[in-house]
Chains A and B, each alone.
Chain A
Amino acid sequence: MTWELIINLLSWACFLVGGFFLFVGALGMLRLPDFWARLHAASIIDSAGVGLILAGMMLQTGFTLITVKTLLIVGFLLITGPTASHAVASAAFVSGSRPKDIVEDATIEPAKPEKKKRAAKTARKSKS
């Protein structure tokens, strides 16, 4: 009885904290200024939100076949999530998009601000 209570409390803590991180991620999607920053909000949802909620589900199911399946879901998400965000980021980078108000950019040689985009493109071409 007490064991069940402990498990229930733990899983509810997981659900609540995971829900909090999902909310924070969604808020970040709206509040952050540009594409590059929003990518990080998606990353929060990917790792903390989904991870904690699935951990809570695992605690609820106990040790059964469903737990194994949930673990597999976590594993696949940990592989596919970053791969997808890398693909999106890479596409944005290749198409010449750069973060707003960037502090430091190691990818371009100092160029005139209005020619920034073109300089980045030619720099990439010469490398590849």
Chain B
Amino acid sequence: MSGIYDNMLIIIFGIISSMLCAWIVHHLKLFDVGAPLIAVKTLKFAKYVFWLVVEIGKSDWNIAKVILANDINLQQRLIRVPVGEGSDFSKMLYANSITITPGTVTVETETDCFIVHALIDETADQAALADMGSRAFATQRGEN
């Protein structure tokens, strides 16, 4: 990745360290290798990322307004967001999307719901979160 390919020693070090990492992960049996990533629909995933960036932009602006307001006016709440059946990958995608969107943070994951902390009224919108969830789940093959 550095654009320098004429030094064999560095390349060999790179190969050795990446193989070591792969072996450690495999040995720890941390996860089911490759299966969830293969099931991702690439085009839908790209669309989802684009949509997510737009959503992040919108809520960035919302939270920035809250911070810059003269008197800070918060309506903090912890809400339960139901999560349907799905693979671990799409649940991870959903939870991470909630967290990366300013204004909502996934606090705890349970088997059938997430506990989400919302900063203000607008972000504690169950319908919008459910919409995000269905979009996240649609990126996986065999689920809709």
Contact = CB atoms under 8 A, between A and B. Distances in A.
Interface stretch (B12-20, B22-30, B69-77, B83-91): B69-77
Interface string B63-104: 110011000101111111000000000000001110111110
Contacts, number: 123
B105 A40 contact: yes
Interface string A39-55: 11101101110010000
Interface in A71-102: 78-79, 81-83, 85-86, 89-90, 92-94, 98-102
A94 B115 CA distance: 12
Nearest to A124: B108
A83 B72 contact: no
Interface size on A, as a range, is 35 or more
B30 to A, nearest CB: 14
Given A65-B1, A83-B96, 18 more contacts: A27-B67, A31-B67, A37-B76, A40-B103, A40-B119, A43-B100, A43-B102, A47-B56, A47-B100, A65-B3, A81-B99, A82-B95, A85-B99, A86-B107, A90-B107, A101-B74, A104-B77, A107-B108
Interface of A: 21, 24-25, 27-28, 31-33, 36-37, 39-41, 43-44, 46-48, 51, 65, 68-69, 78-79, 81-83, 85-86, 89-90, 92-94, 98-107, 127
